[in-house]
Amino acid sequence: MSDVRAVSGAMSAAHMFIYFVPEAAEEAAKLGVTERGPAYFAFRSAAMGAVPWQVALATFYSFSPRAVRSMTGVWDAASPEQWQAARFASADRALQRVGVNLAADQIAEARSLIDPVVAGAEYAGKTLAAANAAVALPSDPLVALWQQITVVREWRGDAHLAVLAAHGLGACDCNVLQAATGRVPVGLARSIRQWNDEEWAAATARLAARGWLDADGTVTDEGTTSRERIEVETDELCAPLWAPIGDAGARRLAELVTPINDAFTAAGTYDHLR
Domain ranges of the chain: 3-273
pLDDT confidence of residue 185: 81
Mean pLDDT of 208-218: 94
- pLDDT for 88: 98
**How far from chain centre, in Å, is Cα 248?**
24
Q: Which residues have C-beta within 8 Å of that of residue 124, sequence separation ≥ 6?
A: none
What per-residue confidence (pLDDT) applies to 269?
Answer: 96
Nearest Cα to Cα of residue 259 among 83, 73, 68, 107 = 107
Between 22-30 and 36-45, two packed helices, what is the crossing angle to 10 degrees? 90
Query: Helix/strand/coil (H, E, C) string of 70-131?
Result: CCCCHHHHCCHHHHHHHHHHHHHHHHHHHCCCCCHHHHHHHHHHHHHHHHHCCCCCCHHHHH
pLDDT of residue 252: 97
Q: Where residue 116 falls among pLDDT bands split at 50, 70, 90?
A: very high
80 vs 15: CA distance, rounded Å: 20
Nearest CA to 273 out of 91, 20, 34 is that of 20
Mean pLDDT across the chain: 95
Instruction: Give the span between the Cα atoms of 204 and 81, in whole angstroms.
Output: 40
Quickly count: other Cβ atoms within 10 Å of residue 125's Cβ.
11
Query: Is residue 210 a contact partner of residue 241, using CB atoms and an 8 Å limit?
Result: no
Question: Helix or strand or coil: residue 256?
Answer: helix
pLDDT tens for 124-138 read 999 999 999 999 999
Kindly report, residue by residue over 63-104, the tens digit of the pLDDT.
999 999 999 999 999 999 999 999 999 999 999 999 998 999
pLDDT of residue 214 exceeding 60: yes
pLDDT of residue 274: 73
Predicted model pTM: 0.95
Residue 258 to residue 15: CA distance in whole angstroms? 10
Amino acid 272: pLDDT? 82
Cα 146–Cα 147–Cα 148 angle in degrees, nearest 5: 90
Q: How many percent of the chain have pLDDT more than 90? A: 92
